[in-house]
Amino acid sequence: MFEHEMVLVANLANGNRFETYLIKGRRNSGVIGLNGAAARLGDPGDKVIIMSVAWMSEAKAKKLKPQFVQVDNLNRVLAVRAGVKRG
């Protein structure tokens, strides 16, 4: 994921889903924060799913291999798994 990239966020604690963008924080801090209007859609400690968005041609989409990153309670990476290839 990249700074200023648009992402979709699903808050597992309250069901809120919203679009926002990534802001660079302190490197390797493990902190995921909600700023601005998005801050009203979650509370500290809420678990969220952050989904990256991409627009592409159908040909490129058929070659897409999504990745899933699982983290622990301190947002340290536990596993990176490849998704199912579409086509």
Domain enclosing residue 87, as ranges? 58-87
Q: What are phi and psi of 60, to 5 degrees?
A: -70, -35
pLDDT at residue 18 above 80? Answer: yes
Same domain, 30 and 72: no
Rounded to an integer, the average pLDDT of 54-71 is 88
Instruction: State pLDDT tens for residues 41-57.
Output: 999 999 999 999 888 99
Same domain, 74 and 45: no
Q: How many domains does the chain have?
A: 2
pLDDT at 16: 97
CB 49 within 8 A of CB 13: no
Alpha carbon 44 to chain centroid distance?
Answer: 16
More confidently predicted of 12 and 61: 12
Same domain, 47 and 9: yes
